[in-house]
Chain A
């Protein structure tokens, strides 16, 4: 079975400061990894994904994430955050084959302070 752990439920950070949102996963098989952002009362928007290849993945809005197989991690980073980055961020995994069933973490609320 696969699982995703986002240890930080909330991360406050000042505007223009760097941020890292942590994601660890557990799986007995290889996985695809995703980060999604959710703004209040909206659906999820894909920030970035890792399928294969380079372990450093760049996404939209200046976000990037690094896949670390040995540590089973896929942490999300941004060097300088904006007020508009305040949102809920979800890490997700799915198996490359099969049913396209995604497993989501519990989410991390990023709050950017002025």
Chain B
């Protein structure tokens, strides 16, 4: 199946700094990528839909100025957590849809665990 790669897998940062997480589709093109946040022992919460070449669509309650999303190419979307605080600590997962696939399957990255001290 298609491969989606996230980097970094783990990041620790100080409060007030910004952190960038990359999501790449390795063997397919993705006009749309999705960013999820997963709290401990909880389900995945969709944060935003990232569209190549246009602004991301954020879910209700997600601060677009804090979670900056850029989808500059058909294979790369980035999530930047700006001025991170301890409450932003979480597991962030991206997913992408294969342009050529019509089955509705999303391919997920390995996730990035952010710890803000």
Q: What residues of chain A have their CB less than 8 Å away from a CB belonging to chain B? A: 9, 32, 34, 36, 41-46, 49, 51, 90, 94, 96, 99-102, 104-107, 109
Contacts and interface: CB of A to CB of B under 8 A. Distances in A.
B49 interface: yes
A11 to B, nearest CB: 14
Given A41-B111, A43-B110, A104 B6 contact: no
B111 A43 contact: yes
Contacts of A106: 42-43
Contacts of B6: 43
Contact of B104 (A32, A45, A107): A32
Interface string B74-106: 000000000000000001010101000001111
Task: Please classify the interface of chain A as helix (H, G, I), strand (E, B), loop, or mixed, using the class held by over half of its residues.
Answer: loop
A69 to B, nearest CB: 18
B93 A43 contact: yes
B104 A51 contact: yes
A6 B105 CA distance: 20
Contact of B110 (A42, A49, A90, A107): A42
The prevalent SS among residues of B at the interface is: strand
Given A43-B4, A44-B93, A49-B103, A104 B108 contact: no
Contacts of B9: 41
Contact of B43 (A34, A100, A105): A105
Contact of A49 (B49, B104, B111): B104
Contacts of B113: 41
A51 B103 contact: yes
A47 to B, nearest CB: 11
24 contacts: A9-B41, A34-B105, A36-B108, A41-B111, A41-B113, A42-B111, A43-B95, A43-B108, A43-B109, A43-B110, A44-B108, A45-B108, A46-B107, A49-B103, A49-B104, A94-B104, A99-B49, A100-B97, A100-B106, A101-B46, A102-B34, A104-B44, A106-B43, A109-B41
